[in-house]
Amino acid sequence: MSAPKNKGYRRSWKNLLLNKRYQLSFTLFMVGLGAVLMVLLGYCVVREAQEASAVRENLILPCPEVPEVVPLKGGRILLNAPGQPGTEIERADTSSDRSARDPAVVGEQVTGGPTLPLGDRSAAPALPDPTGSRRADDPQSAPDRPSQHIVVEVGSMKLHDDMSDQAEMVATLPPDLVDAIAERTLCHVEQMGQMAELEAGYQRILIVLITSGVLLLFGLLFYGIKMTHRVAGPLYKVTLYFDKMKRGVYSEVYNLRRGDQLVEFYDHFKSAHGGLVSMQREDIEHLRQILDLAEKEDLASRSPEIAAALQEMRTILARKEKSVE
Amino acid sequence: MSSQHSSGPTLPTATVARSGTHGRPYKRRFRNYLLNKSLQLRYIGVVTVISAVLLGTLGTMIWQQKNLASSQILASMDKLELGEVRAQIDDDLTRRDTNWILRLVGVAVGLVFVLFFWLLVMTHKVAGPLHKVSRYFDRMAQGRLGETYPLRRGDMLRDFYAKFKAMHDAVRIRHQEENQVIARFLTACEAAGVKRQGELGARLDELEKHCEERKQALS
């Protein structure tokens, strides 16, 4: 029996799950395994990334110390060099109303050096603002209040009032103060950059893991169903033929679709189908011969049993002939 | 159809009920686990490769993070100019990282082996019924429609097998009933004194032989 070609059934999304039990058990095993591996190893990756970040954070060296300038009441300024007692500097201006005022702070940049903000920060250290921004919104730097500037120059510091130049004080400062302050500021900026980089790296790893995990699981789900469909498809096709054969219909058997699996199994089925068709044809041949001869010899008239049997044989013959059409 | 005709000799009918309750004592043997290579190895291969890729990719990511931490520690040692201590720490870190890689490779190999055997068993539960049905198909191709036996415990594709069995039993019973009609005809001819001579006699002998052969094929 020559095998007819494919009948032209196409794969359709709605028919993807033909044998739910088989397909889902295999697909979900694959997806579950992928999920377990992703979660376990992803957790390890995140933990290691955290550890690497912690190591890097711990290894960030502290920024170099610089002398801090602390304004005091009465217009005096305390210059604290790291590891040395503070040097107190007396203001030259004796004006009582000014000496009572708190020093306002406005940074001023001199010869390309960093700004040095000073405020009423008796408790806080006078570290430079790492961002280098002028605090224009600071109420202490409002234009209606008299302000004092600390002008830092290499080797000296001048304290003067914006309103007049009467008050002026000069103190000797370390010659590398500006460089030290600049270095410290750059160090702080660098540290903040490193921390941001660490955080960004950690976030990147997390996003990559979650995204790839979700994509992988959906991919596996799709691929698993598609892969098992190539097995379930031929099985489904064979069961349709089973239904026909059960009803005694031995119609043509068409080939599998391209990409289907179980090709060998399907060949066995086609052989079985062919074998049954051969049995039918053999029976038809025998029945035809005996019925023709029985009619010729008028066997039905010999006994009612023979007549009844011949009638049944005619029915069987008709059914068999129809089954292999 | 007069299959329930009471007269004439009674040929054995299909013992469907018996075949549905007793299974042949086929046992699973390890050497028979790979019954359908293309089907089984395909699935095993896909799952194993996916697992290996996952382990490889995420393992590399973990190793990169470990390596990053180690290199940072060493870089800080470089800054502090601790020659001997650095070398010792370098050795320790390298050993630690290498041990970790070896552990991961060990886990990966173990997982692949476990997966392989687990999936072999799992796919065998599909390949087994297919193999069994294929053998029945081969018999059917030779015109033999004997008894069918149930699947083993744990086998999959039970719905498919049930449909196959229903078809097989239906075809078998139909052929048995048809054979009974022919046997009745032959008995009636004999009872009516139809002589087995000439062309009619030859045809009757041929029909009787066919009926016997079919009876054998259906038993």
Could you write out the three-class secondary structure of chain A?
A: CCCCCCCCCCCCHHHCCCCHHHHHHHHHHHHHHHHHHHHHHHHHHHHHHHHHHHHHHHHCCCCCCCCEEEECHHHCEEEECCCCCCEEECCCCCCHHHHHCCCCECCCCCCCCCCCCCCCCCCCCCCCCCCCCCCCCCHHHCCCCCCEEEEEECCEEEEEECCCCCCEEEEECCCCHHHHHHHHHHHHHHHHHHHHHHHHHHHHHHHHHHHHHHHHHHHHHHHHHHHHHHHHHHHHHHHHHHHHHHCCCCCCCCCCCCCCCCHHHHHHHHHHHHHHHHHHHHHHHHHHHHHHHHHHHCHHHCCHHHHHHHHHHHHHHHHHHHHCC
Cα separation, B23 vs B151, whole angstroms: 7
- Average per-residue pLDDT for chain A: 74
Closest chain B residue by Cα to residue A287 = B207
In the prediction, which pLDDT does A245 show? Answer: 95
For residue A243, the chain B residues in CB contact (below 8 A) are 163, 167
Asked if B140 lies within 8 A of A275 by C-beta distance, the reply is: yes
Q: Which of B44, B93, B189 to mutate to test the interface with A (most CBs of A within 10 A)?
A: B189
Q: Which of B16, B37, B60, B65 to mutate to test the interface with A (most CBs of A within 10 A)?
A: B65
In the prediction, which pLDDT does A8 show? Answer: 59
Looking at the partner chain, which of B115, B134, B171 has a beta carbon nearest the beta carbon of A276?
A: B171
pTM: 0.68
Cα separation, A300 vs A56, whole angstroms: 106
Cβ neighbors of A157 (< 8 A, separation 6 or more) are A69, A79, A150, A151, A170, A171, A173
Cα separation, A234 vs A262, whole angstroms: 7
Nearest 10 degrees: Cα torsion A218, A220, A225, A229 = 140
**pLDDT level of residue A277 (50, 70, 90 thresholds):** very high
Looking at the partner chain, which of B42, B59, B142 has a beta carbon nearest the beta carbon of A41?
A: B59
B114 within 8 A of B134, measured Cβ to Cβ: no
For residue A261, the chain B residues in CB contact (below 8 A) are 38-39, 42
In the stretch 193-212 of chain A, residues with CB closer than 8 A to chain B read 205
In the prediction, which pLDDT does B118 show? Answer: 87
Closest chain A residue by Cα to residue B132 = A265
Closest chain B residue by Cα to residue A250 = B171
For residue A3, the chain B residues in CB contact (below 8 A) are none
Query: Greater confidence, B120 or A169?
Result: B120
In the stretch 48-87 of chain A, residues with CB closer than 8 A to chain B read 48-49, 51-52, 55-56, 59, 61
Q: What is the mean pLDDT of each run of 10 residues along chain B (219 residues)?
A: 38 38 58 81 88 88 84 78 79 87 88 88 91 95 92 91 96 94 93 87 91 91
Residue B23 C-alpha, separation from nearest chain A C-alpha, in angstroms: 22
**pLDDT level of residue A266 (50, 70, 90 thresholds):** very high
Q: Where are the alpha helices (DSSP H) in B142-197?
A: 158-191
Please determine, for residue A145, whether its predicted confidence score (pLDDT) is greater than 70: no
Query: Greater confidence, A123 or A54?
Result: A54
B73 within 8 A of B88, measured Cβ to Cβ: no
The strand pairing partners of A156, in sequence order, are: A153, A172
The strand pairing partners of A159, in sequence order, are: A150, A169
Cα separation, B211 vs A290, whole angstroms: 13
Cα separation, B189 vs A309, whole angstroms: 10
For residue A316, the chain B residues in CB contact (below 8 A) are 178, 181
Residue B24 C-alpha, separation from nearest chain A C-alpha, in angstroms: 22
In the prediction, which pLDDT does A20 show? Answer: 85
In the stretch 215-234 of chain A, residues with CB closer than 8 A to chain B read 216, 220, 223, 227, 231
Q: Region A156-162: what's the mean pLDDT?
A: 50
Q: How large is the ipTM?
A: 0.77
Q: Within an 8 Å CB–CB cutoff, is residue A3 touching chain B?
A: no
Asked if B188 lies within 8 A of A309 by C-beta distance, the reply is: yes
Give the domain ranges of chain A.
Answer: 14-60+193-226, 68-173, 263-323
Please determine, for residue A243, whether its predicted confidence score (pLDDT) is greater than 80: yes
Q: How far is CA B116 from the centre of its chain?
A: 16
Strands ordered across the beta sheet of A77-80: A68-71, A77-80, A87-89
Q: Which range among A112-126, A166-180, A305-319 shows the weakest confidence by mean pLDDT?
A: A112-126
Cα separation, A181 vs A68, whole angstroms: 10
Cα separation, B121 vs B154, whole angstroms: 10
Query: Greater confidence, B96 or A9?
Result: B96
Taking CB atoms and an 8 Å cut-off, how many pairs form between chains A and B?
194
Residue A179 C-alpha, separation from nearest chain B C-alpha, in angstroms: 22
Q: How far is CA B92 from the centre of its chain?
A: 52
Asked if A278 lies within 8 A of B143 by C-beta distance, the reply is: yes
Rank A27-36, A135-144, A158-167 by mean pLDDT and report only the highest: A27-36
Please determine, for residue A157, whether its predicted confidence score (pLDDT) is greater than 80: no
Q: Give the tens place of pLDDT for each residue, A83-120.
A: 555 555 544 444 444 433 333 333 333 333 333 333 33
Asked if B54 lies within 8 A of A216 by C-beta distance, the reply is: yes
